């Protein structure tokens, strides 16, 4: 058993608090390890089980047993020990130390042990550290405490940080999600001089190569169909330089083959890309497959683009509800309302659209067919066509929010006044 020399004073579990969610955003994914927990109370077993469902623990294999240290001793007399053992104990310090000494006879030296105790005793903590315990956590514990302590043991703090992934998806096809994703990526790279990679995941009908005026001979298809070859060097060969700080993993955009993938088809590609660049923009097509769902669930940030119509509202609500259920420890997805103010089209106002979702739209982008059409037909970004256009300013604001340089501000609502007035006039 080894130690990391850190004790945790944990908090009560329940719904994940905003503070826990914020703290967990900085945690990196836990590697592929085996974890077995031996819990004496439901108050500890429940947050441990919830921790195992968090996206940062996806690769870890967690099994929860009821019963404390004595159960673990009996269990490991005939079974190998995992990478990590979580032990809850309500025993007094002396008895706990005796039980741990007995357990150590059956533990592999490489196994790490975390004790969740019910005694806030400095002397006990020091004795546990001397005996080789990795961490001592004081009950009650929260789900965030469990993920944090596992991450602190198995994620190398000296390692290069993973890049941040932002997945863009449309509530329907044709709502402009890809166009916004590409323009936001371009804004991130040009505004902040930060390396950005755009991955076009729509292998059959992707438009990134057209929007960036590129015709690469290879791209994302080579990576997905040859996952055993993916590493940083191979990925770099597949990238196409679009701007000084912007690279593209282009989709072939052909129908010469079908693109049926396993749920984890893009996982290795995304992991490798995140080790290579600070920002990874995932252009996820409007399809509902195992790999599309998996890509959204594992992304650091999700942006849903919708137009202000009923079918879009229904689809957005389904997406938001599903993502909240599958990502309970992450912020909800961001919402962009696009193509607002189409002449003579009945529309749902931004406030009425957002109300059933429980979200404040990150941005409302007005209908501007001339700007978007000219940019698309010329293979240029909006900022290259008309840097002073209000839509470009909105795209830049989105880039600031998604990189953490600013937040969605309530005062933005006031800025929608002219647009809302236009919408009202169009409906009359």
The predicted-structure confidence for 144-154, as pLDDT tens digits, reads as follows: 999 999 988 88
> Do 31-154 and 164-403 show the same overall fold?
yes
The helix/strand/coil state of 84 is: strand
Out of 3.90.1150.10, 3.20.20.140, 3.30.465.10, 3.40.50.300, which CATH number does the structure's domain 164-403 have?
A: 3.40.50.300
The answer to whether residue 298 scores a pLDDT higher than 70 is yes
The CATH class for the domain spanning 31-154 reads alpha beta
The answer to whether residue 37 scores a pLDDT higher than 60 is yes
Q: What share of the chain in percent tops pLDDT 90? A: 61
| CB burial string 73-102: b at 16+ within 10 A, e below | bebbeeeebbbbbbbbbebebeebbebbee
Section 279-299 average pLDDT: 95
Most confident of 145-154, 299-308, 323-332: 299-308
- Say which residues have a Cβ less than 8 Å from residue 257's Cβ, sequence separation at least 6: none
Q: What local confidence, expressed as pLDDT, does residue 409 receive? A: 63
The answer to whether residue 20 scores a pLDDT higher than 80 is no
- Prediction pTM value: 0.74
Q: Could you tell me the residue ranges of all domains in the chain?
A: 31-154, 164-403
Helices 290-298/310-326 angle, 10° precision: 70
pLDDT in tens, 51-88: 998 988 888 889 999 999 999 999 999 988 889 999 99
**Alpha carbon distance 182, 252 (integer Å):** 17
The answer to whether residue 397 scores a pLDDT higher than 90 is yes
Element at 20 (helix H, strand E): helix 18-24
Handedness of CA 348, 349, 350, 355 (dihedral sign): negative
Q: What local confidence, expressed as pLDDT, does residue 417 receive? A: 39
The answer to whether the CB of 296 falls within 8 A of the CB of 395 is: no
């Amino acid at each position: 058993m080894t130690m990391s020399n850190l004790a945790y004073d944990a908090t009560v579990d329940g719904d994940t608090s905003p503070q826990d969610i914020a703290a967990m955003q900085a945690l990196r994914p836990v590697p592929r390890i085996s974890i077995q927990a031996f819990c004496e109370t439901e108050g500890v077993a429940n947050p441990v089980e919830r921790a195992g469902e968090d996206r940062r623990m996806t690769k870890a294999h967690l099994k929860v047993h009821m019963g404390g240290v004595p159960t673990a001793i009996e269990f490991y007399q005939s079974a190998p020990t995992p990478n990590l053992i979580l032990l809850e104990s309500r025993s007094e310090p002396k008895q706990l130390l005796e039980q741990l000494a007995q357990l150590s006879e059956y533990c592999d030296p490489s196994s790490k042990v975390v004790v969740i105790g019910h005694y806030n005793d400095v002397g006990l903590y020091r004795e546990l550290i001397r005996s080789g315990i990795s961490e001592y956590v004081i009950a009650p514990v929260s789900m965030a405490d469990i993920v944090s302590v596992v991450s602190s043991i198995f994620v190398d703090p000296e390692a290069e940080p993973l890049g941040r992934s932002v997945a863009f998806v449309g509530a329907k096809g044709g709502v402009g999600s890809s166009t916004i994703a590409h323009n936001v990526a371009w804004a991130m790279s040009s505004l902040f001089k930060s390396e950005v990679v755009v991955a076009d995941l729509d292998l059959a009908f992707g438009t990134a190569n057209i929007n960036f005026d590129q015709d690469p001979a290879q791209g994302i298809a080579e990576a997905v169909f040859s996952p055993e070859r993916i590493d940083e060097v191979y990925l770099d060969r597949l990238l196409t330089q679009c701007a000084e700080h912007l690279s593209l993993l282009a989709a072939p955009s052909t129908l010469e083959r079908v693109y049926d993938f396993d749920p984890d088809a893009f996982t290795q590609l995304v992991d490798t890309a995140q080790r290579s660049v600070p920002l990874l923009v995932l252009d996820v097509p409007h399809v509902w497959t195992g790999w599309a769902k998996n890509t959204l669930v594992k992304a650091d940030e999700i942006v849903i683009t919708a137009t202000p119509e009923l079918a879009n509202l229904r689809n957005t609500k389904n997406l938001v509800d599903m993502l909240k259920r599958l990502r309970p420890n992450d912020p909800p997805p961001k919402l962009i309302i696009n193509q607002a103010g189409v002449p003579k089209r009945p529309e749902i106002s931004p406030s009425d659209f957002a109300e059933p979702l429980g979200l404040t739209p990150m941005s409302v982008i007005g209908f501007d067919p001339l700007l978007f059409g000219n940019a698309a037909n010329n293979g240029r970004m909006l900022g290259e066509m008309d840097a002073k256009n209000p839509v470009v300013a909105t795209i830049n604001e989105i880039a600031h929010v998604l990189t953490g340089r600013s937040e969605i501000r309530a005062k933005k609502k006031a800025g929608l006044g002219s647009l809302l007035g236009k919408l009202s006039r169009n409906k009359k």
